[in-house]
Structure formats: C-alpha cells, structure tokens
Amino acid sequence: MSKAYRVNFQVRLVNALMRALVRLGIGPRQTYLLTVRGRKSGKLYSTPVSLVEEATGRWLVAPYGEVGWLRNARAAGTVTLTRGRRSETVSLAAAGPEESAPVLRKYLALEPIAQPYFDARPDSPMRAFEAEAARHPVFRLQPAAKLA
C-alpha cells in the first residue's frame, strides 16, 4: 500500500532548494517551476515539478495525488513553467488511464523519490499503471491559447 503525501519541514526545505536551483536554470533537466494562481486566494504559488518529455509530447504528472497545485491548476486551466530565464504558459489536457500508464511508468524511472506513493513498481505491467492513473493524474501540456 502506498503512503500518503504529507508536507513537513523536510519537504518544504527540499522544495525551497529546488525552487532556487530551477530559478537559476540548474538542477535536473526535467525540473521546472510551476506557477499557478490560487483558486481561492488569487495569490501566485510556485512549486518544483518534473515533466516527462518524449516523442508523444510533454506531460505533467501529479505524483502525490490531489495536492494544492493540482487543484489550482485544474481550476485555472493553465500554468506557467519556468526554468532559468525561460517561461512559458501552457494549458493542461487531462489524459485517460491508457494514455497515462506509459507516462507514469517513465515518471517513476525519472523520479524514484516518488516510488513510496505508488502501488505499481517500475517493472509492473502496464495495467498496474492504468490503475494508478486515478490517484496520480497526468496532463498533456499544450501551448496556451493566445488572447486576441
């Protein structure tokens, strides 16, 4: 059984360090700073995220389930991704279980720190990752629509 995600001092410390590194444009290549407006407060919130980038597209995974940034991103429909001096606003398209499964498998290979939050293991059959999709939403990233 996978464990529940809790934000504690250690998580806050690691996130603060990753935010600083990503703002400088250093750190793991797949890591970006996701910024989204709070659905209730209207404030901007930023958190480091790891993208899965492959020939089929760019994917955002919510490895810890229904956390604040995910609820805010769903409400907003768009997020800003920043790495160093480069920023882009993208829209999110929810992926279904079959589309999510290979992305989730690749995510676990890229980010083994998330393994305790998954029941599936990197060598599990694709069906196990399809089952994980409900607890770990996956989104295809698309260019945000330009306002006329």
Q: What is the per-residue burial (b if ≥16 Cβ within 10 Å, else e) of 71-101?
A: ebbbeeeebbbbbeeeeeebbbeebebebbb
Which residues are within 8 A (CB) of 66 and not within 5 positions of it... i.e. 6 or more apart?
none
CATH architecture of the domain covering 26-138? Roll (2.30)
The predicted structure's pLDDT at residue 146: 58
Each residue's pLDDT tens digit, 109-135: 999 988 998 999 989 999 999 999 999
The two three-digit tokens of residue 139, written as one number? 């989104």
Query: Can you give the residue ranges of every domain in the chain?
Result: 26-138
E strands, the chain, are 31-37, 44-54, 57-61, 78-83, 86-94, 138-143
The predicted structure's pLDDT at residue 73: 96
E strands, 5-66, are 31-37, 44-54, 57-61
Each residue's pLDDT tens digit, 33-86: 999 999 999 999 999 999 999 988 999 999 988 899 999 999 999 999 999 999
* 68: enclosing H helix or E strand: helix 68-76
Q: Would you say residue 7 has pLDDT above 80?
A: no
The predicted structure's pLDDT at residue 148: 47
Report the greatest alpha carbon distance in the chain: 49
Q: Are 27 and 142 in contact (CB under 8 A)?
A: no
pTM of the predicted model as reported, rounded to 2 decimal places: 0.86
Q: Would you say residue 87 has pLDDT above 70?
A: yes
Pairwise CA distance, residues 100 & 59, whole Å:
9
Pairwise CA distance, residues 38 & 120, whole Å:
31
Q: Which residue has the higher pLDDT, 6 or 87?
A: 87
Mean pLDDT calculated for residue range 96-101? 96
Question: At residue 14, what are phi and psi to the nearest 5 degrees?
Answer: -65, -45
In one letter, which amino acid is 29? Answer: R
